Amino acid sequence: MKQQLLLLLFCLLSSVSWAQEQDGDSLSWADAAKELQAGHYDEACSLYIDLSNHAISTFQEINSREVKDLRNEYSIDEVLLQRNLHQSRLLKLVWIAGAILVGLFIICFFYIRRQNKLLARSREELDRAKSLAEDSIRNKSLFLSNMSHEIKTPLNALSGFAEVLTMPGIDEGTRNQCNEIIQLNSELLLKLINDVIDISCLDIANMKFNIKPCEAVSLCRNVVKTLSSIKQTDAEILFETDLSSLELDTDIERLQQLLINLLVNATKFTKEGTITLRLEMADTGKAQFSVTDTGCGIPLEKQARIFERFEKLDEKAQGTGLGLSICQLIIKRLGGDIWIDSQYTQGSRFVFIHPLKQEVRL
């Protein structure tokens, strides 16, 4: 029984012999084996017990070192894990902060862009208002300049020739001549005042025109007949049309005023030759009027501004420079359009179209 116990102990201790070999104790194990073979069981048992205790302590030391190494590795892994978690949180915070900054940048970009657009629009409106104010000041200056000159001329004539009429001893011929001059300048002064009234009234958006049917052919004939009797030029005023009659909806007084303005304007610059008013149907199905003269014509560089207020072809010529502007306002309100024919070079030709029916009452 004692021998079997020793054999079992030998088997158990042989499993850890490698640890003792690491420490150089292989001779002790050999001595124990020799004692066992020699039959000295007590000595062999004592040696094996000592070797077993030594092996156990060696295993404990090895295990403690391994446990310590494992703990160290675990501590290192835990530190790495904590650092990775910290880095992950930091990276997440960086991404969130970056997204917020990008969002703020985008918001600021579109806000600044919108403000720039509003600022540009405000500048445009300011420039437009400034331009209108400058035009208004310019028109006011031109108006005062023109009116002071245009009104002074007929008033001086009226005053001078009225004084002549009061002088004793003048003959009947001189008296009649003075009356004619006074009458002519009175009509001129009245026309100047009417032009100013017209240009102010036509600017009112809610002004109503008196629209009713009008026979245009007879109206044109009457206008030409009237002007032919009072013209102050050697040019002949003619009316041409291939139409026997043409009825259209219009303001008769305004259309007559438009025609008279164009014809009178032509007489100022046509000393001889012909001034022709023509009525026909345009390709658009509207009535087309044209006034053609053989006068001095209008230079191309001035044609673009000829319809502006106070614009005069000849600064020395009588008039306010409002006639063509009034014509444009009238025909626009009647639903038509007016322009100067730049292709005509034998003088000047003004053309305007007028609808046959008014879709909306003015």
Whether the pLDDT of residue 53 is over 80: the answer is no
Kindly state the average pLDDT of the residues 273-292: 93
Whether the pLDDT of residue 94 is over 60: the answer is yes
Are 276 and 205 contacting, i.e. CB atoms less than 8 angstroms apart? no
Q: How much is the pLDDT for 2?
A: 45
Tokens 């009178």 correspond to 264
Burial of 201 (0-12, 13-18, 19+ CB in 10 A): exposed
Counting residues of the chain whose pLDDT is more than 90, the rounded percentage is 21
Q: How much is the pLDDT for 21?
A: 47
- Per-residue DSSP letters for 94-139? HHHHHHHHHHHHHHHHHHHHHHHHHHHHHHHHHHHHHHHHHHHHHH
State both tokens at 53.
Answer: 């205790």
Q: How much is the pLDDT for 316?
A: 52
**Which of 56, 58, 9 lies closest to 33, judged by CA?**
9
pLDDT band at 152 (very low <50, low <70, confident <90, very high): low
pLDDT digits (tens, 9 = 90+) for 295-305: 888 888 888 78
Mean pLDDT score of the chain? 78
Q: How much is the pLDDT for 318?
A: 53
Instruction: Please state which of the ranges 32-46, 189-203, 270-284 shows the lowest mean pLDDT.
Output: 189-203
pLDDT band at 219 (very low <50, low <70, confident <90, very high): very high
Kindly state the average pLDDT of the residues 83-103: 88
State both tokens at 174.
Answer: 């001189």
Whether the pLDDT of residue 315 is over 60: the answer is no
pLDDT band at 45 (very low <50, low <70, confident <90, very high): confident
Higher-scoring residue by pLDDT: 190, 70: 190
Q: How much is the pLDDT for 171?
A: 80
Instruction: Please state which of the ranges 110-114, 139-143, 222-226, 317-321 shows the lowest mean pLDDT.
Output: 317-321
pLDDT band at 294 (very low <50, low <70, confident <90, very high): very high
pTM of the model: 0.53
Counting residues of the chain whose pLDDT is more than 70, the rounded percentage is 74
Across 73-103, b (16+ Cβ under 10 Å) vs e yields eeeeeeeeeeeeeeeeeeeeeeeeeeeeeee
Q: How much is the pLDDT for 293?
A: 94
Whether the pLDDT of residue 307 is over 70: the answer is yes
Q: How much is the pLDDT for 25?
A: 46
Whether the pLDDT of residue 114 is over 80: the answer is yes
- Beta-bridge partner residues of 279: 241, 289
Higher-scoring residue by pLDDT: 139, 219: 219
Task: Supply the CATH classification number for the domain 212-354.
Answer: 3.30.565.10
In angstroms, what is the C-alpha Rg of the chain?
59
Kindly state the average pLDDT of the residues 113-130: 89
The identity of residue 240, as a single letter, is: E
Higher-scoring residue by pLDDT: 169, 225: 225
> Where do the structural domains in the chain lie, given as residue ranges?
1-149, 212-354
In angstroms, rounded to a whole number, what is the distance separating the alpha carbons of residues 241 and 304? 29
Whether the pLDDT of residue 123 is over 50: the answer is yes
pLDDT digits (tens, 9 = 90+) for 154-171: 677 778 778 777 777 778
State both tokens at 271.
Answer: 């000393």
